[in-house]
Amino acid sequence: MKPLYTAHALASGEGRDGTARTNDGKLDVTLSSPQELGGTGEGTNPEQLFAAGYAACFHSALRLVGRKERADLTDSAVAAKVHLGHLDTAGFGLAAELEIALPALDLATAEALVAKAHQICPYSNATRGNITVDIKILEYAA
């Protein structure tokens, strides 16, 4: 792969209860474990950051594909959920859900665009075969 862009971030402190920042200072967050994992929940956590990145990346891929297909992407949106849990073998793992809104498109067109976006999205390509990613189109024109 020939890199087009490289992001730089540093996590320090106590891992999930530390800090993370990018080298350009545009992202500088306090991390804290969610209350569900015994933390304070006062800061953000890696799963939230991953969900935000995946949602933005997939929506960008969807809009790119939509423009090429001349599809009406009015009010399109992508929501992501990232689940953290125990693996059957050992350790921890992730699973993701993407919830897509394409209210200006019929279901068949929406499904075709989502399938194409899933093939070009860098997050989808990185997770494919590694974690479960459940994609649902929740809103479309009837």
Dump pLDDT digits (tens) for 45-77. 999 999 999 999 999 999 999 999 999 999 999
- Same domain for 80 and 123? yes
pLDDT value of residue 32: 96
- Same domain for 7 and 31? yes
pLDDT value of residue 142: 72
- Same domain for 96 and 83? yes
Span 115-136, average pLDDT: 97
Question: CATH number, domain at 26?
Answer: 2.20.25.10
Question: CATH number, domain at 71?
Answer: 3.30.300.20
Q: What is the separation of C-alpha 34 from the centre of its chain, rounded to a whole number of angstroms?
A: 18
- Same domain for 8 and 27? yes
- Same domain for 128 and 83? yes
In terms of residue numbers, what domain contains 75?
46-141
Spell out a b/e string for 61-77, using b for 16 or more CB atoms within 10 Å of the CB, else e: bbbebbeeeebebeebe
Mean pLDDT of the chain: 96
Residue 135 has pLDDT above 90, yes or no: yes
Taking the C-alpha atoms of residue 33 and residue 43, their distance in angstroms, rounded to an integer, is: 8
Span 78-90, average pLDDT: 95
- Same domain for 63 and 91? yes
